[in-house]
A and B are shown apart, each in its own frame.
Chain A
Amino acid sequence: MLRLIVRRLLFIVPTLLLVSIVIFLLVEVVPGDPGRVKLGPYASAEQVAQVDHQLGFDRPLAQRYVRWLGSFLTLHWGDSWNLGVPVFSLTMQRLWSSAQLAALALVIIIPLSILLGVVAALRRDGIADRIITVTSLSLTVIPEFVSGVVLIVLFAVTIKIFPVSAVAPAGSGPFTRIYHLILPAIPLMFVELGYIARMARAGMIEALDTAYVRTATLKGLPRRRIVVTHALRNALAPTVAVIGTQIGWLVGGLVVVETLFNYPGIGKLMADSATLKDVPVLEATVLVVAAIYMLSNLAADVIVALLNPRVRFGR
């Protein structure tokens, strides 16, 4: 078990290094002269050269990369070109906001979609199953900003029960803050719903077909007990794996939802810095997102291993 974690962690390091090289090339080399990018098309050649020199962009490429990586690893992330504030505290602040939004979405959708998946499996091929499967799959494939816009039109413009803005007024209590986050969280939930529910349904159907469930049934155990204590535990392993990979999807969804609802999270920060060519912020946010993405995939693998005794006790 420990070996599995260590091996996977060791794999993350070179992958992140490769990702950092790719990001470095894409952000600092491909767009052309960084001084020109920073100053815009109307600056004179001397001004551009001066900024390039100040920021160290006139040095050799490899040297620049090593310096950049070094300062990144020692958390000296520099200042934002547009906002003029330190990138590290900015990124962490926005990450915390995003985490709140994502947490709200996950806390509601994971139990709900597992429940729906299990109900669909128990009513296999019945009307409830059909409705759950078709609805959840349709909601899953619709882009977040589309469902978000429909929700805004319905629940914030036509029937005014939710605020249009995702940010509560300064100084409001936790409940008001959560209330403002509900509408933005729903598109995120929609996208997760289909995948999690489908995996829960498939896992449950498979578990219900096993010999031990038949034994338990023949033994005369009540149906509820069989489903909850015997089948569910085994049915959920693939579901947990999917939830782990879905956290990555969630990050992509956050970019979209935060932009739509003007919510100051890491996703909007990244999209804005890409649009405005804020090089230090873009590099920082993308690397942070990549690290979170890989760690959440690792966490999912570990939890699956913990649920599966064959993996837990070593092959």
Chain B
Amino acid sequence: MTFDELAAQAAPPSERVLRRRYVVRRLLRSPTFLVGAGIVLFWIFMALFSTHVTRFGPLDIDPYHTLKALSRLHWFGTDENGRDVLARTLAGARSVLVVAPLAAVFCLFFGGTIGLISGYYKGYTDEIIMRFVDVLLSLPVIVAAIVVVSAFSSHTQGSPGAQAAVVILVIGILFTPPVARTIRAAVVSEREKEYVQAARLRGERAPFIMVAEILPNILAPIIVEGTVRLGYAVFTAATLSFLGFGVQAPSPDWGLTISLDRTVIQVAWWTVLFPALALASLVVGANLLADGVRKVLSE
């Protein structure tokens, strides 16, 4: 071990490290955050390992036992193809947990970049970017998403990966404007502070100031936006699959399952109720998590 490394170990933790420890401690004491994080972690675990937990596979067809009610063997019953509803419900988190976090990351990246540039330069750049953002906001999210996804559907037909990529990008872009607005507001209030002026007087270039100086100081609003958008992204991704613009059969995706099985709702309510409750729990969990993070970080 070199002298420098030893010295770094011995040095008292910096203010930033202390602050981070404080935030983590507060989060671990917030019931809202803990419940939300617990639910989300449960579904992440199920998305990864559900096939090791359940007796049946989510795609196993059994033509002799279709639409069977709840039983000891099939706890949540079976659907019109004799597939185990419990297995499908637990595996149904997969698609949404791939699409939603990636979409949230995309909108954070786009929105963060736009917000940084727009807030830092102000003036005409700001004006033009924000007008463009207004145009993006002039359609309801679901409507815009349907139009874009269906426009590209003739190109993505037969390729689930490409279809998912379009959905991720569309949700990411549609959520960019609100993120950009929040980040812009944070940057506008930071840019007048002394440390930014000092960097400017040192002759640092604008990209450096934005990324190395301002960005670390607006991490709190960025994290809050990210968790909030995650909840919305789950909502939107699930709704798109329900409308038939997301993943395709035979995926056990909740939205898709509800959309397809609602034709048998009068004879076999269990085929749609359990996916619906599962989806509801994930959305509420993601929002509780976001709420907990927001409360702790905005103190």
Contact = CB atoms under 8 A, between A and B. Distances in A.
Interface of A: 15-16, 18-19, 23, 26-27, 30-32, 37, 137-138, 141-147, 149-150, 152-153, 157-158, 164, 248-249, 251-253, 255-256, 259-260, 270-271, 274-275, 277, 282, 286, 289-290, 293-294
B164 to A, nearest CB: 18
Interface of B: 134-135, 138-143, 146-148, 150-155, 231, 235, 238-239, 242-245, 255, 258-259, 262, 265-266, 269, 272-273, 276-277, 279-280, 283-284, 286-287, 291
Nearest to A160: B266
With most chain A CB atoms within 10 A of its CB, the pick from B135, B243, B272 is B243
B143 A289 contact: yes
A37 B139 CA distance: 25
B152 A293 contact: no
A19 B132 CA distance: 11
What 5 A-B pairs come out closest when comparing CB atoms?
A252-B142, A274-B150, A252-B140, A30-B151, A26-B151
B150 A256 contact: no
Contacts of A137: 287, 291
A255 B142 contact: yes
A164 B272 CA distance: 14
B243 A259 contact: yes
A286 B140 CA distance: 10
Contact of A275 (B150, B151, B258, B269): B150
A270 B244 CA distance: 13
B150 A277 contact: yes
Given A26-B147, A149-B258, A255-B243, A293 B231 contact: no
Given A15-B134, A141-B231, A271-B243, A150 B150 contact: no
Given A26-B151, A164-B266, A271 B138 contact: no
Given A15-B135, A138-B284, A143-B239, A270 B146 contact: yes
Nearest to A29: B151
A150 to B, nearest CB: 5
A143 B235 contact: yes
Contact of A32 (B155, B255, B291): B155
Contact of A294 (B138, B151, B235): B138
Contacts of B276: 145-146, 149-150, 153
B139 A143 contact: no
A286 B139 contact: yes
B265 A157 contact: yes
Given A143-B242, A153-B269, A157-B269, A15 B146 contact: no
A142 B265 CA distance: 20
A30 B265 contact: no
Contacts of B255: 143, 145
A158 B269 contact: yes
A253 B276 CA distance: 16
Contacts of B244: 271, 275
Nearest to B154: A31
Nearest to A271: B243
A275 B147 CA distance: 10
A133 to B, nearest CB: 10
A160 to B, nearest CB: 10
A286 B287 contact: no
A15 B136 CA distance: 9
Contacts of A293: 138-140
B129 to A, nearest CB: 14
Contacts of A286: 139, 143, 147
B130 to A, nearest CB: 12
B242 A145 contact: yes
20 contacts: A15-B134, A15-B135, A30-B151, A137-B291, A141-B283, A143-B235, A143-B238, A143-B255, A145-B259, A146-B279, A149-B265, A150-B273, A152-B265, A256-B243, A260-B242, A270-B146, A271-B243, A275-B245, A282-B150, A289-B143
